[in-house]
């Protein structure tokens, strides 16, 4: 668990990059920090592994102040992935992945099997890739190595600063899918910075929206979409072009309805409803019915529509 208690950062030139931040990131959570450029995301992230010192307040990891940790112990137990691919060019893929395990003095066999395991995890055949130099891999493959390198020594926490923003859309989506899948398997705490709301909604368990060094709202994707706290959040969420999303109401319907809802009171929308009309109806009720030619043909809830949106963001983007 990572806790921020009244954390502020003032740089030497007087810039207040982060202002009295209070935040708890739970163990095993996929936590996304999002906000416009200059809102303090990178500063917030770098304070966690002490790449940037705090000016005020305290950060705790598992209840212990970060300043009380040995700096090496702290860094080795926190994986870090950067936007620009930061592999060592003269070292092989295997050596790149092994950097932290080597520093931790793992034995050679353990390191070798870990490298193979990680390469397999991201779909790169170990025998083919481990002896290559970074320049012999595509951008997407290199960034994949950047991600597994951060996981190599089995850290509890992984910090990722816009790790996919330099990638082409297809590699980016593939890596987003991979990281979500990986997170479910390895259950690490991930703090992920992005400025892309689609990415945030797709991968985050919770999302923290920042502006001018302050938190505007923290919530699940569902909470942000249905209960945006102010116009700034609305506008941020609204940047997603819902019109581009392929929407087929019939495919989202469920045949079961929530037993706690009284059917007579349930709102009904026609099968021909647009996505906007559907979202609007769902902002008032947790579940709604869908009718066709005067008959209820199925039910819809918020969760199923969000899932549908996220599944289809991909197609929308490619159009």
- Which chain residues interact with ligand ADP by CB under 6 A? 11, 13, 15, 17, 35, 37-43
Taking the complex as a whole, the smallest distance from the CB of residue 199 to Mg ion amounts, in Å, to 14
92 binds, among ligand ADP, Mg ion, none (CB under 5 to 8 A by kind): none
Q: Which of 307, 275, 272, 302 is nearest to 288 (CA)?
A: 302
DSSP 188-217: -EEEEEES-HHHHHHH-SEEEEEETTEEEE
Taking the complex as a whole, the smallest distance from the CB of residue 40 to ligand ADP amounts, in Å, to 4
88 binds, among Mg ion, ligand ADP, none (CB under 5 to 8 A by kind): none
Q: Which of 122, 216, 218, 219 is nearest to 176 (CA)?
A: 122
Choose, by CB under 5 A, the member of 39, 42, 189, 287 that binds Mg ion. Answer: 42
135 binds, among ligand ADP, Mg ion, none (CB under 5 to 8 A by kind): none
- State how far the Cα of 268 lies from the Cα of 177, in Å rounded to an integer: 34
Query: In this structure, is the dihedral angle defined by the CA atoms of residues 62, 64, 70 and 75, taken in order, positive or negative?
Result: positive
Q: Which stretch binds Mg ion (CB under 5 A): 27-35, 36-44, 111-119, 149-157?
A: 36-44
Q: Which residue's CB is nearer to Mg ion, number 41 or number 308?
A: 41
Taking the complex as a whole, the smallest distance from the CB of residue 302 to ligand ADP amounts, in Å, to 30
DSSP code for 72: H
- State how far the Cα of 256 lies from the Cα of 266, in Å rounded to an integer: 13
Taking the complex as a whole, the smallest distance from the CB of residue 175 to ligand ADP amounts, in Å, to 20
**How is residue 263 written in tokens?**
């059917």
Number of residues that bind Mg ion (CB under 5 A): 1
17 binds, among Mg ion, ligand ADP, none (CB under 5 to 8 A by kind): ligand ADP
Q: Which residue's CB is nearer to Mg ion, number 11 or number 90?
A: 11
Taking the complex as a whole, the smallest distance from the CB of residue 143 to Mg ion amounts, in Å, to 17
What is the SS3 assignment for 229-294? CCHHHHHHHHCCCHHHCCCCHHHHCECCCCCCCCHHHCCEEECCCCHHHHHHHHHHCCEEEEEECC
Q: Which residue's CB is nearer to Mg ion, number 42 or number 171?
A: 42
Taking the complex as a whole, the smallest distance from the CB of residue 83 to Mg ion amounts, in Å, to 8
Sites of contact with Mg ion (CB under 5 A):
42
């Amino acid at each position: 668990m990572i806790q921020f208690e009244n954390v502020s950062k003032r740089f030497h030139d007087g810039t207040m990059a982060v202002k009295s931040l209070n935040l708890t990131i739970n163990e095993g959570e996929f936590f996304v920090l999002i906000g416009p450029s200059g809102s303090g995301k990178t500063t917030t992230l770098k304070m966690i592994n002490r790449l940037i010192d705090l000016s005020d307040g305290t950060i705790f990891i598992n209840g212990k102040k970060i300043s009380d940790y040995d700096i090496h112990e702290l860094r080795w137990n926190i994986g870090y992935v950067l936007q620009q691919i930061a592999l060592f060019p003269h070292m092989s893929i295997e050596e790149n992945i092994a950097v932290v395990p080597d520093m931790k003095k793992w034995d050679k066999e353990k390191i070798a099997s870990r490298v193979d395991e990680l390469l397999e995890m991201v779909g790169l055949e170990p025998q083919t890739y481990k002896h290559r130099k970074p320049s012999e891999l595509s951008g997407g493959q290199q960034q994949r190595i950047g991600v597994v390198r951060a996981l190599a020594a089995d850290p509890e926490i992984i910090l990722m600063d816009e790790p996919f923003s330099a990638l082409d859309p297809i590699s980016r989506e593939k890596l987003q899918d991979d990281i979500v899948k990986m997170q479910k398997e390895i259950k690490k705490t991930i703090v992920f910075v992005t400025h892309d709301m689609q990415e945030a909604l797709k991968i985050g368990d919770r999302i923290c929206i920042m502006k001018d060094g302050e938190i505007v709202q923290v919530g699940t994707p569902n909470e942000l979409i249905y209960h945006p706290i102010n116009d700034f959040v609305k506008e941020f969420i609204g940047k997603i072009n819902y019109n581009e999303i392929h929407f087929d109401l019939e495919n989202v319907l469920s045949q079961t309805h929530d037993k706690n809802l009284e059917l007579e009171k349930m709102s009904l929308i026609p099968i021909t409803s647009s996505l906007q009309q559907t979202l609007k109806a769902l902002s008032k009720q947790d579940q709604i019915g869908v009718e066709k030619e005067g008959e209820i043909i199925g039910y819809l809830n918020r969760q199923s529509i969000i899932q549908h949106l996220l599944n289809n963001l991909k197609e929308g983007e490619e159009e």
